[in-house]
Structures are given as C-alpha cells and as structure tokens.
C-alpha cells in the first residue's frame, strides 16, 4: 500500500512539473522499500518512463515541445546515459555497494540542490550556440544513468536559463527528453534483471491515475513552488542516502580492521 501512495504522489508532481520521477523515486525505494541501489535506479527509470509517456500527449497536443532542442539534448545525453548506466552496473559488486549508495545520494542532492542556485539567465544562448546544448546534456545523461535523476531537474534548469522557450514549452520538451533517457536506461536494467517487478506494479497502480490528475492540474497549480518543495524533499532523501552509505562504509572498515587484528594476534603469539 505504501508504494501505491508514493507512486500516486510522485506521479501527480511529474504530471504538473515534469520532474520528480527519478530524484524522488530512487531514494524512496532505497529508504522505504529497502531495495538495493541498482534495483531502485532501474525500477525508478521504468516507472518514470511510463509516467512521462502517459503525460507526453497532453504537452504535444498543446504544441509545448521544441523538437530541435530535444534532438540536440539527446545527441549529448544518450552517450552520457550509457556511460552512467554501465558505471553503475560494473560498480555494483559487494565491495562497492556502500560507496554506490553514497554516490547516488550525492548526485541526487546535487541535482535537486542546483534548483536553488541563483539564476544565470541567457535566453539567447540556445538559439545562438545550439550545438552547445549537446555538450551540456552529456553530464546530465551520465547522472541519469547512474542515479535515474537529472533529466527532469537539470534538464529543466538548463532550458529555463539558456533558451528562449516559455515555461510550458520547457516542461514539455524536458518531459520527452526524460522519456527517451528513461526507456533506454530502463531497457538495460531490464536486461540485467535490476528491476523489481512487484514494486513497479504497485508504483504504477498509484502512478497512472496520479499522472492523469497531475496533467489535469498543470497550469492551475503553481509549478515553481511545487518544484521547490519537491527539491527540498529530494535533498533530504539524498542526504539520508549519503548518511546511510557512509555509516555502512565505516562499519565495513571496522569489520575489516577487526578481522585483520584477529588474524594477526595468533600469528604474533606463535612468533613469540
């Protein structure tokens, strides 16, 4: 039941603002559902892809998608996504699990915290130097691949500050941007078996009606205030992941040190 409620709330936010699919779902699945980081990222990616796929027609119908900028973003972000996804896959061995938890927490905190940085607006940037959008999208792709977050929060901030698009078109363009990245990344996680089908079904049971409610409320709810509130929650959850992962690393270090001491003591006694 908890996953259904969480799925509904996240989906409402995605429908209204276009963000929250990864930055909120991943830490919630790790901290509340107890999923390993790789499974949480994979499940969050598929969940976010389905939500955005449902929401996309509402924005396309309103002509709130800039397809040229969308293509440029994907040119840079897709290679970055592949890098981030493979890094997560190869690092997710027993000896790296706690470190991965810390890294995911840091990335989530960063991508959410950047929402509150002072705005450095340059609306003519995208039209004058459109090819730079691909380069700027590369690290967004890397972060999305590693943590499932970034496509919504960082993509929105990039387009809001460095393009001439109105807010509605930024949300629509970023929504489709997130769909493509989530489907590609989710396909790899499905192939590797790092998607929890049971949790995903529960999330979607709440998420599908939730995203429809969110799309209906889009334009009627102050999206910027809601986005800021979600960013605060995501920062708190990200810091909690960092704290949890750091504690595990300390405990593992102490356990390793204790084993070394235990092995060394008999050897020293025999030498004497």
Kindly give the residue spans of alpha helices, DSSP state H, lying in 132-196.
Answer: 132-147, 153-162, 167-192
- Could you tell me if residue 109 is inside a domain? yes
Beta bridge partners of residue 221, listed in sequence order: 218
Number of structural domains (the chain) is: 1
Domain that holds residue 137: 2-251
Cα gap 183→264, rounded to integer Å: 51
- Could you tell me if residue 166 is inside a domain? yes
Cα gap 113→149, rounded to integer Å: 12
pLDDT, tens only, 234-246: 777 778 778 887 8
C-alpha dihedral sign at 85, 90, 92, 95: negative
Predicted pLDDT at 114: 67
pLDDT, tens only, 148-200: 776 766 777 788 777 888 877 887 888 888 888 888 988 888 888 888 989 99
Is the confidence at residue 256, as pLDDT, over 80? no
Asked whether the beta carbons of 170 and 156 are under 8 A apart, the reply is yes
- Could you tell me if residue 218 is inside a domain? yes
Predicted pLDDT at 79: 93
Burial of 13 (0-12, 13-18, 19+ CB in 10 A): buried
Predicted pLDDT at 74: 93
Predicted pLDDT at 84: 86
- Could you tell me if residue 270 is inside a domain? no
- Could you tell me if residue 264 is inside a domain? no
Could you give the C-alpha distances from 169 to 70, 166, 176, 239, in angstroms and in order?
11, 5, 11, 32
Torsion angles phi and psi, residue 161, rounded to 5: -90, -30
Q: Which two tokens stand for residue 193?
A: 């078996």
Cα gap 22→194, rounded to integer Å: 15
Asked whether the beta carbons of 237 and 27 are under 8 A apart, the reply is yes
Is the confidence at residue 218, as pLDDT, over 80? no
Q: What is the pTM of this model?
A: 0.74
Q: Which two tokens stand for residue 272?
A: 């004497």
More confident residue, 260 or 175: 175
Cα gap 158→133, rounded to integer Å: 9
Predicted pLDDT at 201: 93
Give the rounded percent of residues in the chain with a pLDDT score beyond 70. Answer: 79
- Could you tell me if residue 257 is inside a domain? no
First to last CA, the chain: 62
Spell out the residues 6+ positions from residue 96 whose beta carbon is closer than 8 angstroms to its own.
none
Is the confidence at residue 100, as pLDDT, over 80? no
- Could you tell me if residue 211 is inside a domain? yes
Asked which of 56-65, 120-129, 132-141 is least confident by mean pLDDT, the reply is 120-129
- Could you tell me if residue 125 is inside a domain? yes
Kindly give the residue spans of alpha helices, DSSP state H, lying in the chain.
Answer: 2-17, 25-31, 37-61, 67-91, 97-113, 125-128, 132-147, 153-162, 167-192, 197-217, 223-271
């Amino acid at each position: 039941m908890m996953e259904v409620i969480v799925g509904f709330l996240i989906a409402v936010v995605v429908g209204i603002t276009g963000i929250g699919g990864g930055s909120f779902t991943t830490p919630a699945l790790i901290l509340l559902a107890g999923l390993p980081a790789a499974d949480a990222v994979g499940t969050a990616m598929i969940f976010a892809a389905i939500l955005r796929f449902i929401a996309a027609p509402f924005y396309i119908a309103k002509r709130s998608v800039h397809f040229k900028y969308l293509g440029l973003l994907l040119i840079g972000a897709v290679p970055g996504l592949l890098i981030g996804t493979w890094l997560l896959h190869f690092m997710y061995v027993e000896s790296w699990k706690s470190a991965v938890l810390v890294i995911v927490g840091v990335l989530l905190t960063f991508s959410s915290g950047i929402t509150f940085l002072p705005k450095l607006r340059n609306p003519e940037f995208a039209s004058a130097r459109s090819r730079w959008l691909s380069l700027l999208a590369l690290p967004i792709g890397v972060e999305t691949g590693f943590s499932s977050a970034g496509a919504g929060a960082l993509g929105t901030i990039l387009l809001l500050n460095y393009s001439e698009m109105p807010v509605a078109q930024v949300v629509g363009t970023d929504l489709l941007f997130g769909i493509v990245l989530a489907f590609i990344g989710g396909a790899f996680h499905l192939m590797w078996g790092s998607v929890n089908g049971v949790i995903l079904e529960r999330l979607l049971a709440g998420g599908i009606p939730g995203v429809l409610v969110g799309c209906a409320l889009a334009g009627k709810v102050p999206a910027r205030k809601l986005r800021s509130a979600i960013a605060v929650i995501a920062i708190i959850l990200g810091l909690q992941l960092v704290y949890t992962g750091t504690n595990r690393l300390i405990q593992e270090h102490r356990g390793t040190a204790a084993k070394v001491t235990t092995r060394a003591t008999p050897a020293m006694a025999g030498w004497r």
